[in-house]
Amino acid sequence: MNVRPLINGRTYDYVSITLSILGVPLEAVKAINYGVEQPKENQYGTGTEPVSRGKGAKTYTASLEIPMEEVEMIRAASSTGSLVDLDMFDVVVFFGVQGKFKTHTIKNCEFSVDGVEASQGDTQISKTFDLTPSHIVYGNG
């Protein structure tokens, strides 16, 4: 019998994530990806070592793989029924691990494409949508 306790307790995992868009919880999202990138480059003067570092503009990215039934729930919020006509919205990502609750908010998102992808043998129709966010708030803000 193993009596050794788990050192770090429960870890963050996909089943602990709850997502919402336009205040609607999405329960069947198959994947979410988001992040920020900022180019950084060493600057040189005399000699061979960097003397300073310059930073470029931040670029934010996000994507969701969503099954068609939840895509249709989001489309219902559009006056034209198209995802690309939706006003900006936030994607709230809540990590619900006991004692380690975190919320990330992907701010001011917009869909840049709409459509459906399906093929023979699919048992569920889903599509990956790239989002255009303005920024990401990591933490509980």
pLDDT of residue 123: 93
Confidence of residue 4 (pLDDT cuts 50, 70, 90): low
List of domains in the chain: 15-36+58-139 (2.30.110.20)
Q: What are the C-alpha distances in Å from 82 to residues 40, 57, 67, 68, 110?
A: 38, 31, 16, 13, 12
Residue linked to tokens 């990401």: 136
Distance from C-alpha of 136 to C-alpha of 141, rounded to nearest angstrom? 10
The pair phi, psi for residue 108, each rounded to 5°, is 50, 50
Total residues found in the chain within this entry: 141
Share of the chain above pLDDT 90, in %: 75
Radius of gyration of the chain (CA): 20
Residue 120 reports pLDDT greater than 60: yes
| pLDDT digits 0-9 by tens, 33-65 | 999 999 999 999 999 999 999 999 999 999 999
